[in-house]
Amino acid sequence: MRIVIPDDYQDMVNQLDCFSLIGHHEVTLYREPARDLTQLIERLSKADVVVAIRERVEFSSALLENLPRLKLIALVGRNSKMIDFAACTELGIPVATGKSNSPVAPAELTLALILASRRNVALEAQRMQRGEWPCTLSHRLRGSTLGIFGLGAIGELVAQAGHGLGMEILVWGQSSSLEKAAAAGYAQAKNKRELFEHSDVLSLHARLTRETQGIVGAGELDCMKPTALLVNTARAELIAPGALLAALRRGRPGYAAVDVYEHEPIMNGDHPFLAMPNVLCTPHLGWAEWTNHELYFREAFEQIVAYEQGLPLRLANPKVAPRQLI
């Protein structure tokens, strides 16, 4: 089979141990995103199987209708808002999904961003490389308030780490988050505004849904402390478009650490956050570590093996009538 893996940003998929599961096939990998739909169709048009890495490619009906050979999409992860599942079903393209959802890697990155931003690690490392002196003053974590917006699996790990560093934990979110907070002995904000007002560090961990899209707006950001840090390793769309940039320019909050963006990847330094010394940016690294990749890609590749052997698949569109292999 011809297998195409678009958008291997780290240029490392073929270095994973689990790559041996599909190494006997004709596998083509691309590191840089396609510049437009035409080039994307050109890259995928001869594929029997496409490995969809998270949400890096939009599998729209316009794309899918131009992939006559495509028999299977193997999704890295459990779901994707970038796949038109109805179109896949209509065209006879099964979408096989992963089953794991490990919170460890994104939680670790969140903690790393909090520490690096509050203690000016990245800023001072860059200043030292440029030969600048003296250094800046940073902010201590112990005794400060860590706000957790959404105490799910990732939020729980971040809260535990913050508590271990001597931070006061303040939680707001759905009733399940507040119940978990009470059970763990964490303080619960009375409302969303109180969470933003009292947090010295505020970390977003809500799931992106229709209800949570844009749930953080100018009103919430404006009531943050001028010394506060907002951390977003969840989804950029949780914040209303342009609201964080405008708020940072107004000085509330005073700092941000961001791993997610509305349009990814960020190429050629083309984002206003990158010109702001009070913003620490990383290129969506939340899940990007070896153990995580071995887990998620192995599940995707195992689905390809199952398809090859005619075994049942874990399908996101179970009503599909699959195309037959040529």
Q: What is the mean pLDDT of residues 192-218?
A: 96
Domain ranges (residues) in the chain: 2-101+289-308, 104-281
Q: What is the mean pLDDT of residues 176-198?
A: 97
CB contact at 8 A, 201 and 228: yes
pLDDT at 325: 53
CB-based burial, 242-272: b 16+ in 10 Å, e otherwise: ebbbebbeeebbbbbbbbbbeebeeeeeebe
Looking at every residue in the chain, the average pLDDT score rounds to: 96
pLDDT at 134: 82
Q: What is the mean pLDDT of residues 113-129?
A: 95
CATH entry 3.40.50.720 includes domain 2-101+289-308:
yes
83 phi and psi angles, rounded to 5 deg: -115, 130
> What are the tens digits of pLDDT across the range 34-77?
999 999 999 999 999 999 998 899 999 999 999 999 999 999 99
Dihedral of CA atoms 193, 196, 199, 202 in degrees, nearest 10, equals 140
Q: What is the mean pLDDT of residues 228-233?
A: 98
Predicted confidence (pLDDT) at residue 127 exceeds the cutoff of 70: yes
Predicted confidence (pLDDT) at residue 162 exceeds the cutoff of 70: yes
Predicted confidence (pLDDT) at residue 169 exceeds the cutoff of 70: yes
Predicted confidence (pLDDT) at residue 324 exceeds the cutoff of 80: no
CA 206 – CA 203 distance, rounded (Å): 9
Mind telling me the catalytic residues?
235, 264, 284
> What are the tens digits of pLDDT across the range 239-254?
999 999 999 999 999 9
CB contact at 8 A, 195 and 172: yes
Predicted confidence (pLDDT) at residue 128 exceeds the cutoff of 90: yes
Predicted confidence (pLDDT) at residue 189 exceeds the cutoff of 70: yes
**Rg from Cα positions in the chain:** 22
pLDDT at 164: 98
- In this structure, are strands 187-188 and 201-204 parallel, antiparallel, or unpaired? unpaired
pLDDT at 160: 98
AA identity, residue 275: A
CA 299 – CA 302 distance, rounded (Å): 5
Equal fold, 2-101+289-308 vs 104-281:
yes
> What are the tens digits of pLDDT across the range 258-312?
999 999 999 899 999 999 999 999 999 999 999 999 999 999 999 999 999 999 9
Predicted confidence (pLDDT) at residue 326 exceeds the cutoff of 80: no
pLDDT at 54: 84
Q: What is the mean pLDDT of residues 209-229?
A: 96
> What are the tens digits of pLDDT across the range 144-159?
999 999 999 999 999 9
Predicted confidence (pLDDT) at residue 207 exceeds the cutoff of 80: yes
Sequence-separated contacts (24+) of 187-190 with Cβ below 8 Å: 189/147
The matching CATH number, chosen from 3.40.50.720, 3.40.50.970, 3.40.50.2300, 3.90.1300.10, for 104-281 is 3.40.50.720
Tell me the pLDDT band of 223, cut-offs 50, 70 and 90. very high
